[in-house]
Each structure stands twice: as structure tokens, then as C-alpha cells.
Amino acid sequence: MNNFSSNLFFSIILINYNSSAILYQCLEHLWEQTYKNFELIIIDNGSKDPPSPSLLERWPNLQIRIEYLKENKGFAFANNYGARLAKGEWIATLNPDAFPEPNWLEQLVQATSQYPNAFFASRQLQAQFPHLLDGEGDTYHVSGLAWRRNYGAPVMPKNQPEEVFSACAAAALYPRKTFLEVGGFDESYFAYHEDIDLGFRLRLRGLKCYHIPQAVVHHIGSASTGKSSPFAIYHGHRNLVWTFFKNMPPPLFMIYLPLHLLLNFYSLFYFTKKGHRNTIIKAKKDALRGLRIILEKRKIIQRERIASTWEIYELMDKGLFSPITKKIS
């Protein structure tokens, strides 16, 4: 039996859904990490090709635990399940299609000692085009739209961490204790916007978020669901409504509600024109149907808020044309 450390610092959670071939590539990169004090929790979300228990023998030096769910319970549920099983002080969420460079964990370890009361975003490069960024944390616009910061921009040398609004959960790091205290990812989201929603709630609790440019992963992106698929459109545009209504502090909520409504009307027009009329209408209808429960959650979130309205406002993108230049997909 392997003599693994009982005093773990990191718990890495990998959610697999019909992507076992890619998962094995990810495990190769984790095996090469220079920092070794971590456990790996793999949650299979009811895949048709679940990872084999033989992984425990193939990578004997990795402390791996595999849990099999009978059905796809969603990215949010699976990560929360993994977080409850985790033993580490920190939870790293990592997508199977995100391949970390050897010093990824080592760089994040350094960041945790340098920046207390914080969570962290990795630097994501496009796996197919490594000269282009896949994101440097997440941006949140006052309208309620969110996107990966600097997506598609050329990779430029950076040495210093930067404060960003939130972290993309394809490769993020959260303090486990606070993650669980705020309820983790909202499981009603299933997938999409669950990371920006969690980041928003952590910020309301007073945490900051830093992008660590030396913590690099190469990300394929949308390997399981596909970019601009009906699945992505539905969940993304239902959940952005819920995120705005749950988390936006009261003064900002009243000021930017008209802009949020305008965004939603425009998205109806935009996706109807793109041939996704039924999908976008269902997304907005279901968003409205869920508002009663969302507003109940809002009461708790705003009651427990620590950060000031100004602190939240200062970190948002307020550009009038930003949603147009970033598109709404």
C-alpha cells in the first residue's frame, strides 16, 4: 500500500464526462508536477466510458480516488461532492482537457502564502494555439455578462500576479473551508456560470481573486459539451440571469437592472437570428421560473456580505460596448 501523506495541502478535483481519453493525458501532466503533496479525486458523471480502476496501478505515485455517479448530475454537483470528500486545505478544480505545466501546483502553492484570504486563477493557453490565451481569470460586466479575461489575445510575458474578478473553474484554486461555507457551486446551475457565481459570492464574503501568470495550463475548452451548443446556450443564458439577481449588491442592482434586461432582450434577438430561437426562449423562461428560489438565496447572500458595494463595483467591467465587442455567446 502506498504511504501517502495524511497532511495534504491540495485536493485536485477532476470531473469526467465521456472524456476518459483526454483525462489520461491530464493525469500524465499531473504525474509530472514538481509539487507532490496532493490527492486527486476523480468524479465520473455517469460516463459511457468511465475511467478504469486500473488508473490506481497505472500511476502508482498519484494518490487517486475515483467515484462513479450513476447519472450526469452536473459539473456543479460533482465538484461539490468531490470537495466534501477532499482532505486538503485547498481545492483545485481542473478540467480533464486542461493540461498543467510541471510547475503549475508549485506556483499556486507560493501564491497561497503570498496572498491570504484569496482564491486563484491559472493562466490558460489555447491547447491548439499555444501562442494565444484561453483566459486569465474571468471578467464580470455590470450588465451580468461574463467572459474569460483576455481570451484570444497573444501570449505576452507576465511575472506579477494581477487581481481579477473571478477564476475560471477549468483551472482554479479555492480555500476548501470557505468554499464549503458559501455552499460551493450552486447545484441548480448544473453547468456554466457556476464559477463566476461562486467567485462573486466569495468576493462578497471579502475574498480577493488573483491571476497567477506562472501557473499555466493548456486548455482545449468545451471538450464535453461543444462551443455554442444548445446545451451551452441554454445553461449559460439561464444562469447569467440567476447570477445577477442573486449577487449584485442592492444599489448596483437597481442602477444596472435596465441594462441587464436590455442584455436579455438582445440575446433573444441574437440567438433567434442564429437559429437557436427555442433554446434561448426556454433559457429565459426557466430563468424567470426559478427567480423565487433565487431571490430567497439572495437574502442570505446579501445578509452575509462583507465586501462594500464600492469594492465590488470597482472590479467590474463598466465599458458601454464591452458586451458587444465580446459578443454574447
Q: Which structural domain, as residue segments, surrounds residue 282?
A: 230-325
End-of-domain residue from the set 193, 219, 245 = 219
Task: Name the helix (H) or strand (E) containing 40.
Answer: strand 38-45
d(CA 263, CA 217): 32
Counting runs of H as helices and runs of E as strands, what totals does the chain give? 12, 12
Query: Global pTM?
Result: 0.93
Q: Are residues 243 and 214 in the same domain?
A: no
End-of-domain residue from the set 185, 219, 253 = 219
Task: Give, as one character, the DSSP assignment of residue 174.
Answer: E
DSSP lists the bridge partners of residue 148 as 138
- pLDDT 10s per residue in the chain (329 long)? 333 444 669 999 999 998 888 999 999 999 999 999 999 999 999 998 888 888 778 888 889 999 999 999 999 999 999 999 999 999 999 999 999 999 999 999 999 999 999 999 999 999 999 999 999 999 999 999 999 999 999 999 988 999 999 999 999 999 999 999 999 999 999 999 999 999 999 999 999 999 999 999 999 976 444 567 899 999 999 999 999 999 999 999 999 999 999 999 999 999 999 999 999 999 999 999 999 999 999 999 999 999 999 999 999 999 987 877 775 54
Rg (CA), the chain: 19
Determine how many CB atoms are found less than 10 A away from the CB of residue 320: 9
What is the pLDDT at residue 170? 96
Q: Are residues 17 and 162 in the same domain?
A: yes
224 in a domain, yes or no?
A: no
d(CA 88, CA 86): 6
Domain count, the chain: 2
**Phi, psi (5° rounding) for residue 17?**
-145, 100
